[in-house]
A = this chain, B = another copy of it.
Amino acid sequence: MVLCDVGNSRYHFYYKGTAWHKKCDSVPEITIPNFDNKIYAISVRDDALERLQSKYDVTLLNDKIDFDTTYTGLGIDRAVACSAIDDGVVVDAGSAITVDIMQNGIHLGGFILPGISRYEKVYGSISPRLAKSINLAVDIQSLPQNTGDAISYGIIASIVEIIKKSAKGKKIFFTGGDGPYLAKSFDNAIVDNILVFKGMEKIIKDNL
């Protein structure tokens, strides 16, 4: 069973414990021996989904999820990743950082921060004196003593503190490109880059 999470810029694939991705501006080749052409997918990008459907037998799971939330407009990828857990916080740290809180299988709400690399660009637009590269090794336990660290601390410490506050001691599941980096600042962190596929497997098991 091949799973695919169609994102804004990439097809994220999963098959028997292995995850990989391809750019989603062209039809992706899948090179699995004896592949039956069947893909289970969720999608946030219609044209990329259509490209996938043009070559493969795609079962779309977008409408199959039974997700308990009062949040309107929650992205399908966030909902599916959250549905993989019953309790805890899901942090998907990519070009945006989404933070969602789950309790007893219910989604309590969530919030959105800019991705780490997006923060970096903002400072330079304020003043040339603030155009510094982010120092990911900045110590967020000590007050900064120069402009570069003051900016890196501002970015990282503000992200870490608001996640910490919203978690209220719950386990925090980090996914996305900056997940492993952010996870280092937490005692109760779990890095899980296949959370969305675990959610998809659960939906398939419950529905099909």
Spell out A's residues near B (CB within 8 Å): 8, 70-73, 95-96, 98-99, 101, 108-115, 118-119, 121-123, 125-127, 130, 142-147, 149-151, 153-154, 157-159, 161-162, 165-166
* Closest chain B residue to A75, Cβ basis: B129
Q: Which residue of B lies closest to A123 (CB)?
A: B114
> Of all chain B residues, which has the CB nearest A101?
B143
Checking B101, B108, B121, B143 against A111 with a beta-carbon cut-off of 8 angstroms, the contacting residue is: B143
Which of chain B's residues have a CB closer than 8 A to the CB of A157?
111, 162, 165
Residue contact A111 to B166, C-beta cutoff 8 Å? no
Nearest CB of chain B from residue A75's CB, rounded to whole Å: 8
Give CA–CA (A122, B99) in the complex, Å: 17
Q: Are A143 and B109 in contact (CB under 8 A)?
A: yes
